[in-house]
Amino acid sequence: MMSTMRVLVADDHEETLNFIRRGLMQAGHIVSTVDNGREALFRATEESYDAIVLDRMLPGLDGLSILKMLRAGGIRTPVLLLTAMTRIADRVEGLENGADDYLVKPFAFSELHARLNVIIRRPAVLEPETSLRVLDIELDLGKRIARRGGRRIDLQPRELLMLEVLLRNPHRVMTKTMLLERVWDFDFDPQTNIVETHISRLRAKLNADFDQDAIITVRGAGYMIRSE
């Protein structure tokens, strides 16, 4: 069972704010709420929290600007960014500017709570990530170069993005829906085998000349990178 968290929730939509506050309090957490960006920034810099739930679109000062200011000021409190924006590029921008995770509206409280539990368990990241590595697979984020066992693997852009998603979630099963959303920017299932096809190609390239399969298929659930 997770210990009690002290959480700051910033959202200008009263119904959403109350929904999150009620759920977190029922789960035994201590919750502070604000409905504008300037107050959110003040609270986040003047008080101590275990996590911040931050709406991207806030009056007075938007969530992305707040996030940049917090990180520039050395405040490493885990931030879960809420957004109504469905484009991958918008969410990537949030992650690249210091968000620990994001959640697209509308959402289930159970998922928000689970994501908060995950990000507060992560060690603080003091420097920007330059690469991702799980076992013998590495992805250079700047050069967009993948290697396994030190050997370069030539991947297409979608394959690189799919590998990045898997490497960022080494202990989590990524469903077809999650991969469609994060790799192709689909918020619906187009009823194609596009995910299966790309997983097959990625697996073939990663496994060439290696005995151990790099990608685990969890039947009926999805895929995950082999991490042990």
Tens digits of residue pLDDT in 104-146: 888 899 999 999 998 888 655 445 568 899 999 999 988 889 9
pLDDT confidence of 1, banded at 50, 70, 90?
Answer: very low
pLDDT of residue 224 exceeding 90, the answer is: yes
Higher pLDDT, residue 109 or 90: 109
Higher pLDDT, residue 63 or 88: 63
Higher pLDDT, residue 116 or 95: 116
Which CA distances in Å does 49 have to 5, 7, 11, 211?
A: 8, 6, 16, 46
Sheet strands (E) in the chain: 6-10, 30-34, 51-55, 79-83, 101-104, 131-134, 137-140, 145-148, 151-153, 215-218, 222-225
